[in-house]
Amino acid sequence: MKIISKKKPEKALLSRLKTKSGRNNTGRITIRHRGGGARKMYRAVDFGQLHINMPGKVLAIEYDPNRTSLLALVQYENEEKAYVLAPYDLKVGEEIITKEKAEVKNGNRMRLANIPTGTVVYNIEVAPDRGGKLVRGAGASAQILAHDAGYTQVQMPSGEARKISSKSYASVGSISNPEHRYKVLKKAGTRRKMGWRPTVRGTVMNPVDHPHGGGEGRTGRGMKYPKTPWGKHALGVKTRKKKWSDKLIVSRRKKKKKK
């Protein structure tokens, strides 16, 4: 059950969000089927440690149209306000803090080295003091497995276990709004309001528009393997490029068994 405060968003933390319709900085469409949608204002969220060693009181739990999780509006000792990702079961009036070593309490943020093994965490930094990048979606959480030689082993929501610097910060708890995964879009209009445009199957196109197109009536794609609109393999192709962080992966996520 969502416990969202009945208040307008904090005006000082809002900014206009211009839609890009799936285009990159050169104007080329890099994500298809995007465009339109309801206008949205961006909420400035603190993913890092802007208010370190400063207790803050939760004033409200708010909806954010730009993400799946809920936000918590926090007021700190110096009267400044900020939005942070709200953990599950955080209530209005509670106090949270960002500190190198703090109480292991829902919503508190601290270095991974000071979080006991077995604790669930979210909003994890990949590199120290660069802001949280991992585990930020609704209902997600990671688990601390072990501490060893300046690194902390963390089991990600996908099942992958990886090493992260023990100096990196993470928040205690799991992300709010876990029921988001069960949400059903009941009509096409809802999806249009979210900024998605209609998607057309390749098999109903002409051959000039898609490799799957052409033929008389409802014919199949007529090839051994499906292709993208540009003629490349659409299935079974590795999409992950080699990254510097690959060496920190302890164990890969388990692949789903084919039925």
251 pLDDT exceeds 60? yes
Question: CB pairs under 8 A, 24+ apart, for 31-39?
Answer: 32/199, 33/196, 33/197, 33/198, 33/199, 34/195, 34/196, 34/197, 35/195, 35/197, 36/192, 36/195, 36/197, 37/192, 37/193, 37/194, 37/195, 37/196, 38/65, 38/193, 38/194, 38/195
First to last CA, the chain: 34
Contact yes or no for 207/214 (Cβ under 8 A): yes
Residue that is written with structure tokens 């839609």 in the block: 19
Which residues does 259 contact at the CB level (< 8 Å), separation at least 6? none
pLDDT number for residue 259: 61
Biggest CA-to-CA distance, the chain:
71
Distance CA 214, CA 49 (A): 56
255 pLDDT exceeds 80? no
Residue that is written with structure tokens 């997600």 in the block: 140
pLDDT number for residue 2: 58
Distance CA 158, CA 22 (A): 27
pLDDT number for residue 243: 82
DSSP 63: -
pLDDT tens for 199-217 read 999 999 999 999 999 999 8
CATH of 200-251, one of 4.10.950.10, 3.40.1080.10, 3.40.50.10800, 3.10.20.30: 4.10.950.10
Which residues does 113 contact at the CB level (< 8 Å), separation at least 6? 147, 152, 166, 167
Distance CA 28, CA 21 (A): 10
Q: What mean pLDDT value characterizes the chain?
A: 92
pLDDT tens for 69-106 read 999 999 999 899 999 999 999 999 999 999 999 999 99
At 94, the amino acid letter reads: E
Q: Which CATH code for domain 11-179?
A: 2.30.30.30
Lowest mean pLDDT among 172-181, 223-232, 244-253: 244-253
**pTM score of the predicted model:** 0.86
253 pLDDT exceeds 90? no
1 pLDDT exceeds 60? no
240 pLDDT exceeds 90? no
Distance CA 192, CA 206 (A): 25
What number of residues does the chain have? 259
Same fold for the domain at 11-179 and the one at 200-251?
Answer: no
Domain boundaries, the chain: 11-179, 200-251
239 pLDDT exceeds 90? no
Contact yes or no for 134/68 (Cβ under 8 A): no
